[in-house]
Amino acid sequence: MFALIDCNNFYASCERNFDPKLVGKPIVVLSNNDGCVIARSEEAKQLGIQMGAPAFQCQEQFDKHGVEIFSANFTLYGDMSRRVMSILSKYSPVQEIYSIDECFLDLNGIDEDLSQYGLKMKKQVDLFTGLPISVGIAPTKTLAKAANRIAKKFPKQTRGVHVIDTDELRLKALKWLDIGDVWGIGRRSAAKLHKNGVYKAIDFIKLPESWVLKNMTIVGLNLQKELKGLPVIEMEREEKHKSISTTRTFETDYHSFDQLKERIVTFTTLCADKLRRQNSLCKRMSLFIKTNIHKETRTQYSKSIDIKLPFPTSSTLELIEFAVEGLTSIFKENLHYKRAGVTLSDFVDADQHQLSLFFNSNPKHEKLMQAVDEINQKYHKNLIRVATTDTQTFKMKQARLSPCYTTNIDDVIKVKIG
């Protein structure tokens, strides 16, 4: 059996957690630059505020109902996530952290009544962090997702925990579940399935396997098996990322090469930091620049470049060199740039990689980077930095940023009590 545990309205719950005045009020959290709605409390959902809606289009609604608005505070959410995950990790030897607010647990070998077990998790997370969670338990990961959905939809009947452990319960769930709400079925597949008369998950498992394979690839077929109760999707045990990216929409348009260069160099630095933290080297880097797609009257330009590195590296200095070279080759003058990003991929372990015959990462950089990382960790995030980067790492509009309650002592002192 697998459990899928997730936090209810995670970002909104984190904000509410530290300010009791917010209990019972509609809360929304906005994306970077305060652009779109990316999280809503239950009350905000009731008002009909849509996920992903541009904030400026919702302003009237916000004013009318006194919606509490927050700029995304990922430092806070990340820290709360670590706490929740750490508690849940005690409930199984095998945990897969699936997203910032979700994890799977392998419950094989757990002897207790699973419903009680789920309730115990919920109580402990609430006691230690104050965050509400929902628990779905079933024989496959896809069914655990479905069970979780039921737990969330019917909090009174389920108390936030739902277990699918018989065929009867499985079929009952599939009759209730819309096909578009199945984990792995997106808009495109849902539309295709609707055309073929499939509206509920139960209709989907009745389709011939050959049709599913032909029209939805192996992914669709695996999904179908999972809904039938046959486990196909396994627990992911690798904790290292396979790619790392930093991308941003700018608050204003950028025109010059130097402005973009500063951003690309800063993004590269952030990616390299993350890369070293997971003790990897990368063999590939890609970067892109884009104009504002919402300004249709202006000249549009979107270009990316993929760079195969001559040797694996995690040196910020070396990566920056490649990044600037890449940017030079795709940059065009006289345009209004609005977005850019850097992605590192093709990782190898730092401890056990093959040296190249002709080109290798500068061996001095390894120690240099280690020293820089240690100093920055000890004193201040950007105490030592490459001169091309801006001290203001994120140039974003964050008009309503909450304090980093759990990670920044200065922030905590600033919070007014009462």
**Which residue type does 29 have?**
V
Pick between residue 107 and residue 212 the one whose CB is nearest to DNA: 212
What value does the CA radius of gyration of the chain take, rounded to a whole number of Å?
Answer: 24
Cβ 315 to DNA shortest distance, Å: 19
Q: How far is the CB of 412 from DNA (least distance, A)?
A: 26
* Residue 246 vs 314, nearer CB to DNA: 246
**22 vs 216, beta carbon nearer DNA:** 216
Burial annotation 227-263 (CB, 10 A radius, 16+ → b, else e): bbbebebeeeeeeeeeebbbebebbeebeeeebbbbb
Q: Which is nearer to DNA, 295 or 332 (CB)?
A: 295
We find the least distance from the C-beta atom of residue 340 to DNA, in angstroms, to be 9
CB-nearer residue toward DNA: 116 or 220:
220
145 exposure class (CB count in 10 Å sphere: 0-12, 13-18, 19+): buried
Q: How far is the CB of 278 from DNA (least distance, A)?
A: 10
Nearer to DNA, 99 or 329 (CB): 99
> Closest separation between CB of residue 114 and DNA, Å?
21
Query: Which residues are near DNA by CB under 7 A?
Result: 6, 31-33, 35-36, 38, 52, 54, 56, 98-102, 145, 182-190, 217-219, 236, 241-249, 251, 274, 284, 292, 294-295, 306, 308, 338-339, 341, 343, 396
Residue (103 or 163) nearer to DNA, CB: 103
Q: How far is the CB of 52 from DNA (least distance, A)?
A: 5
CB of 103: closest distance to DNA in angstroms?
A: 10
303 within 8 A of 330, measured Cβ to Cβ: yes
What is the per-residue burial (b if ≥16 Cβ within 10 Å, else e) of 368-384? Answer: ebeebbeeeeeeeeeee
